Structure 1
Amino acid sequence: MRAARRPHWRTAIVAAFAWLACAAAQAAALPLQACRLVGLDHDAQCGVLKRPLDPARPDGTQIDLHVVVIPALARQKLPDPIFFFAGGPGQSAVGLAGTIEHLTSRLAARRDLVLIDQRGTGHSAPLNCDVPTPDEALARALDRARAAAALDACRVALQKLPWGDLRFYTTTIAMADADAVRAALGADRIDLIGISYGTRAALEYLRAYPTHVRRVVIDGVAPPDMVLPDSDDIDADAALAALFRDCAAETACAKAHPSLAQTWQRLLLSLPKAIDFVGPVSGEARQVTMTRAALRGLVRPGLYQPTLGALLPYAIEQAAAGRYESLMALATGDADLSEGEHFSVICAEDAPRMSPADRADGDHEAQAMYCAACASWPRGDVPAAFYTIPRSAAPVLLLSGGLDPVTPPRHAERVAKALGPMARSVVVANNGHNVTAIACMRDAVFHFINAATDAEAQAVDMGCAAKMPRPLAFQPPLPSRARAADNDPNRFDDSAPHTPGVPPPGMKDAR
């Protein structure tokens, strides 16, 4: 046999570069291992991807980006995984694993579901403030100075962390992280689902990495140019006005709460004043000074979901009579949110665009609160292109609740026009913030993403959105009128007339 020829030097160089590329690809891969998460019935795959805190300094401080992949159940899964972006800003996507899997269960049968704890949230370089007790959280909600002091102390503590440079937690940087996860998982194209602030994240990913996007679903649209603190009070007032209108149109609500809008105005005009109430969690009697801004803040959580909002007419009527416990209970909840990441995003992306006139409104404190917090909060750089919404080549489904107090349909409709003919805006008229949890909308999202072609995706029937009724207003239960048994020694004939204060005939005098 003839001796083998020596490889040409150019061939050797090409082979060397190929080997280096292969080695680099292997180094960039995201190693995953089996893990169990709260809310999941089966194993997931968990991994950590190293990312530079400052993208301009790849050799500088590194952070651990925590990623969870919920594997598709089908043996032959589809190649485009679903990336889910959580709300807030500040929510942990991994912490919502059970809820997200439930919402996407049909889709997740054939597609991997990818959850990323966005930098600053969950376990990814967390920027968490202290977790107040429910009563302390309520106290901060009623006292702006108390809340500001707690937030300032949190900022000082966060800046002492190894990853505490708060300039590097913007949406743009976070989406660069997300694309690094996509590449590490070996996915060419992905589907995006974003909820609330997650819609802003999804729009930024679509803008920055359009060729890697197959389909997009955004629910409760908060576009990058929205200026969240400015819109907050305007949209909440519109949702409250809709509540008053619908109460007046509902026979039972109008009878129980006549002139509810006027009752609300009288209540506002009576403030500020000292009020007494019983803490909804501690059960202890307390006294605070109730302001108009604090009252608006107590009402707002009930506007997010019409099922909770059904209690608002009763709670407002009770507050007007001096009983604030119902409103306090509505406003008491467990908001699992990274405040450090929340303010890092808002202070960089929204606060610089707030107008001075808005900040001066004493009744609507959202702007004033963010303005005060962001005055000392480090701000990251935001590229000008971040605020633009280019045409989309991928189909985009925009979902809104017609009663949403924070991201109403007007935002989605404007974004849909900017995205172009591949975008479709659908409104669930009688729902609040986020509509994907409604069964018929879950089916619609499934068919939209699962459609084989873009044309089929855009033609999915969304008619169920118009059929959702608003829940009827809460009515307190009436006193029981059940008759006592004949052998009950305390029985009396409740149909017979009797003198007030005098025990009816046949009823024992407990005195």
Structure 2
Amino acid sequence: MIPALALAATLLVTPVITPAAPALTWHDCATPQTAKRLQCAELDVPGAMLRLTRLPALDPARRIGSLLVNPGGPGGSGADVVSYGGLGLATPEFAELNQRFDVIGFDPRGVGGSTPAITCGPMHDPAVSRFPADDAGYARLAAHNRDVGLGCRGPRRVDTATVAEDVERIRLALGEDRISWLGVSYGTEIGALYAARYPHHVRAMVLDGAVDHALPMRQAILDEAAATEDGLLRFAQWCASTCGEDVLARYDALMADGAPSAQLGRRATPEELAAGVYSHLYFPQLWPRLADALRAAPRDASALTSVMQFTSPEYAAYRAVGCQDFPAPFTGPADLRRLAEQVREVAPHSWRYSEFWDFASGCLGWPVPAANPPHPEPVRGAPPILVVGGTHDPATPLTWARSLSARIEGSTLLVHDGDGHTGLYNSACVRRHEAAYLISGTPGTSPATRSLPCQKG
């Protein structure tokens, strides 16, 4: 594999698409745990081999085409999602998608079963704070991140712009003139960039839990910190009426000094506990479990630390890709402290963890320059695209969906009026709208209206 510093010059070169790609050779790969009709294939792309899975359309006579899906991340395995019925594919609302589309999942370069995989040494050191209080702490954080980056191995290019080029290679290999796309969270980054560069090869596209890559990092950090705080307060409000207790007081007490974790074999830091709480905010159906975890945490916080982002199997890809797309904006220690104070102002309880602060602080000192930093790429000439945002999404604020939709010519915004990250994972109403749109290719409203509501349920 290639040392990280050796990648820098290459990462700054725009990939060039070859005019043709080899056809995919599909083979049956079902197991007792996967869908019975599952097929697998691999595709050579410059510097990597991509793993793909496919569920052929159940009704070939009415087949519309190929529907590519991406579950987010960075680092999420689209191939596994298709294999095991994730991303809502097994829900009644998406049943018709399985009838009418070949559903295609792929692992982006460096991710999951694609090779070479992104691998790094130990990435998380609880002694290194992501909110350094002084210049020495800032230097420790930067040095730690630099060492992590130098220890990473994987493909030469892992930024989202290169992944979007890989999507075009997949289209060519599928032999499709146009593809449909279903992307959530980070999957909206890939989809929007593909639509900007290849608008005439898009048939239909859902961008749910939208990330707007045009936003400067500082704005994105503050927007998301406020959204995470809102998610925590919404959970606390729910628990006040359902659990009959002040769960926010429990949370704040934990944040004061950390808590023991048998799973870690040591005392968990407040930053680690905040990350574990954040993971539960994605899905309101996990809120009862979160309430139980907070009750147990003073004795054992394992239920929180076992789901924190820092030690997940996907975290190496999450960081390596993230630093190519979301570089640290800090000009120095004082600048970091000023922005950290702003984060505390908009998120007085939850400030210790949000994903864009994790990108910003985790990419400080990263040894490879960002190949795809935030910048606008308007989408023009594509068919109508459906953008979805939630009123209380803790990870991707509704403002991002609105600003992204405004940059996509002729798009429609579907608003999920409810809690949790993405409408797809948290609303049958959203899934019904998304399925109907993907099948018909029309969002169900005129471009002049450009907005649809979706209530809870």
TM-fit CA distance, 1:329: 0.5
Residues 59-208 of structure 1: pairs in structure 2 closer than 5 A: 63-97=48-82, 98=84, 99-100=86-87, 101-103=89-91, 104-129=94-119, 140=124, 143-144=127-128, 155-159=149-153, 163=155, 165=156, 168-208=157-197
**How many angstroms apart in 1 are the aligned matches of 2:358 and 2:432?**
41
**How many angstroms apart in 2 are the aligned matches of 1:131 and 1:457?**
51
TM-fit CA distance, 1:218: 1.5
Indicate the residue corresponding to 1:49 in structure 2.
43
Could you say if the C-alpha distance between residues 455 and 355 of structure 1 is closer, same or farther in structure 2, counting changes exceeding 3 Å?
A: farther
Residues 246-261 of structure 1: pairs in structure 2 closer than 5 A: 246-248=238-240, 250=241, 252-253=242-243, 256-258=244-246, 260-261=247-248
Preserved contact between residue 257 and residue 313 of structure 1 (Cα < 8 Å): no
Indicate the residue corresponding to 1:494 in structure 2.
none
Residues 207-356 of structure 1: pairs in structure 2 closer than 5 A: 207-226=196-215, 227=217, 231-248=223-240, 250=241, 252-253=242-243, 256-258=244-246, 260-261=247-248, 264-265=251-252, 268=255, 271-272=256-257, 275=259, 277=260, 279=262, 281=263, 287-288=266-267, 290-291=269-270, 293-313=271-291, 315-316=293-294, 323-325=298-300, 327-333=301-307, 337-353=313-329
Counterpart residue type for residue 52 of structure 2? V
**How many angstroms apart in 2 are the aligned matches of 1:383 and 1:298?**
28
Residues 20-31 of structure 1: pairs in structure 2 closer than 5 A: 28-31=22-25
Preserved contact between residue 181 and residue 191 of structure 2 (Cα < 8 Å): yes
Q: 88-97 or 327-336, which moves further after superposition?
A: 327-336
**How many angstroms apart in 1 are the aligned matches of 2:120 and 2:162?**
25
The Cα offsets for residues 199-234 of structure 1, whole Å up to 9 and x where unpaired, read as 111111111110011111122111213446555433
The Cα offsets for residues 330-362 of structure 1, whole Å up to 9 and x where unpaired, read as 442397653343223221221154676773228
**How many angstroms apart in 1 are the aligned matches of 2:325 and 2:408?**
21
**How many angstroms apart in 1 are the aligned matches of 2:381 and 2:299?**
48
Counterpart residue type for residue 114 of structure 1? I
Could you say if the C-alpha distance between residues 267 and 408 of structure 1 is closer, same or farther in structure 2, counting changes exceeding 3 Å?
A: same
2:26 to 25, 32, 47: 32
Indicate the residue corresponding to 2:344 in structure 1.
none
Gaps of 5+ in 1: 1-23, 54-62, 469-511
Could you say if the C-alpha distance between residues 334 and 238 of structure 1 is closer, same or farther in structure 2, counting changes exceeding 3 Å?
A: closer
SS class of match (2:101)? coil
TM-fit CA distance, 1:415: 1.6
Indicate the residue corresponding to 1:433 in structure 2.
421
TM-fit CA distance, 1:179: 0.6
Preserved contact between residue 196 and residue 379 of structure 2 (Cα < 8 Å): yes
Preserved contact between residue 26 and residue 40 of structure 2 (Cα < 8 Å): yes
TM-fit CA distance, 1:414: 1.9
**How many angstroms apart in 2 are the aligned matches of 1:247 and 1:454?**
36
Preserved contact between residue 195 and residue 219 of structure 1 (Cα < 8 Å): yes
**How many angstroms apart in 1 are the aligned matches of 2:269 and 2:162?**
40
Could you say if the C-alpha distance between residues 359 and 416 of structure 1 is closer, same or farther in structure 2, counting changes exceeding 3 Å?
A: same
TM-fit CA distance, 1:50: 1.5
Counterpart residue type for residue 306 of structure 2? T
TM-score (norm 2): 0.75
The Cα offsets for residues 284-326 of structure 1, whole Å up to 9 and x where unpaired, read as xx542644x344223212211112223445554665xxx253x
Counterpart residue type for residue 424 of structure 2? T
TM-fit CA distance, 1:94: 0.7
Preserved contact between residue 199 and residue 381 of structure 2 (Cα < 8 Å): yes
Superposed CA RMSD in Å reads 3.7
Could you say if the C-alpha distance between residues 112 and 287 of structure 1 is closer, same or farther in structure 2, counting changes exceeding 3 Å?
A: closer
Indicate the residue corresponding to 2:432 in structure 1.
443
**How many angstroms apart in 1 are the aligned matches of 2:451 and 2:36?**
32
**How many angstroms apart in 2 are the aligned matches of 1:272 and 1:364?**
13
SS class of match (2:90)? helix
Aligned residues: 403
Indicate the residue corresponding to 1:359 in structure 2.
336
Preserved contact between residue 67 and residue 180 of structure 2 (Cα < 8 Å): yes
SS class of match (1:81)? strand
Indicate the residue corresponding to 1:381 in structure 2.
371
Could you say if the C-alpha distance between residues 392 and 314 of structure 1 is closer, same or farther in structure 2, counting changes exceeding 3 Å?
A: farther
Preserved contact between residue 84 and residue 113 of structure 1 (Cα < 8 Å): yes
Preserved contact between residue 31 and residue 48 of structure 1 (Cα < 8 Å): yes
Indicate the residue corresponding to 2:134 in structure 1.
none
Counterpart residue type for residue 328 of structure 1? S
Whose radius of gyration is greater, 1 or 2? Answer: 1
SS class of match (2:44)? strand
**How many angstroms apart in 2 are the aligned matches of 1:178 and 1:372?**
27
Indicate the residue corresponding to 2:5 in structure 1.
none
SS class of match (2:60)? coil
TM-fit CA distance, 1:445: 1.6
SS class of match (2:112)? coil
SS class of match (1:180)? helix
Indicate the residue corresponding to 1:499 in structure 2.
none
Preserved contact between residue 91 and residue 337 of structure 1 (Cα < 8 Å): no
